[in-house]
């Protein structure tokens, strides 16, 4: 039935976003959404992927994803498949947007701007200081990182080979 198809697709997207096997971490769910929608309505997804790919290449993948959802909903109305594909798309937007907003832990005066950037652009471009702090927290001791501060910092000294004697050189023992 159509309810089972919709529930299965939304459950797949939600399970991808918060997998119990990855300690409730996971991806963004867009690829899972495309796969489930492709099973439900291949013609609609075929037409919807055109603006998604173009906008992802030209502008930003997050903007392409936003227009993918809008295109799927409008094309499902146009092709009279809103009962399955349109409702699935609308219900799938909820866990995908929650996943986009889930890293918000820093609450400050820029909260509204941060939420807007996470929803639309899928990053914190205008909140660069928060992004840098989060990046530094993830590196866990950046000063001990051999890639950033040189791999030879704590390694053994390099042994320089001694040069070979010339070919016509004779040792004293052989005389």
Query: Are 44 and 81 a contacting pair, CB within 8 Å?
Result: yes
How much is the pTM?
Answer: 0.57
Q: Is residue 80 situated within a structural domain?
A: yes
What pLDDT score does 36 carry? 92
Report pLDDT digits (tens) over 115-131.
Answer: 666 666 666 555 556 66
Query: Are 88 and 6 a contacting pair, CB within 8 Å?
Result: yes
d(CA 144, CA 60): 34
Selected residue with higher pLDDT from 89 and 129: 89
Query: Are 83 and 24 a contacting pair, CB within 8 Å?
Result: no
Helices (H) and strands (E) in the chain, counts: 7, 0
Selected residue with higher pLDDT from 24 and 6: 6
Q: Is residue 64 situated within a structural domain?
A: yes
Helix axes 2-17 and 87-101, enclosed angle (nearest 10): 10
Work out the burial of residue 75: count CB atoms within 10 Å of its CB; fewer than 13 is exposed, 13-18 middle, 19 or more buried: buried
101: left (phi over 0), alpha (psi -120 to 50) or beta: alpha
- Number of compact structural domains in the chain: 1
Selected residue with higher pLDDT from 106 and 139: 139
What pLDDT score does 72 carry? 92
Q: Which residues contact 67 (CB under 8 A, 6 or more apart)?
A: 51, 52, 55
What pLDDT score does 65 carry? 85
Q: How confident is the model at residue 152 (pLDDT cuts 50, 70, 90)?
A: very low
Selected residue with higher pLDDT from 6 and 136: 6
Average pLDDT of the segment spanning 71-93: 90
Q: Is residue 48 situated within a structural domain?
A: yes
Report pLDDT digits (tens) over 29-47.
Answer: 888 999 999 999 999 999 9
What pLDDT score does 2 carry? 83
Structural domain for 29, as ranges: 2-102
């Amino acid at each position: 039935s159509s309810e089972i198809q919709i529930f299965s697709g939304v459950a797949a997207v939600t399970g991808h976003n918060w997998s119990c096997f990855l300690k409730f971490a996971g991806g963004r769910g867009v690829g899972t959404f495309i796969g489930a929608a492709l099973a439900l309505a291949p013609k609609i997804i075929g037409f919807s992927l055109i603006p998604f790919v173009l906008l992802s290449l030209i502008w930003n993948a997050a903007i392409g994803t936003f227009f993918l959802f809008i295109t799927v909903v409008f094309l499902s109305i146009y092709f009279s498949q809103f009962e399955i594909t349109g409702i699935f798309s609308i219900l799938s937007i909820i866990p995908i947007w929650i996943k986009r907003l889930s890293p918000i832990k820093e609450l400050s005066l820029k909260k509204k701007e941060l939420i807007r950037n996470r929803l639309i652009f899928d990053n914190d471009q205008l909140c660069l200081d928060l992004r840098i702090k989060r990046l530094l927290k993830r590196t866990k001791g950046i000063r001990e990182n051999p890639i950033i501060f040189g791999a030879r910092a704590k390694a053994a000294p390099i042994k320089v080979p001694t040069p070979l004697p010339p070919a016509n050189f004779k040792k004293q023992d052989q005389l």
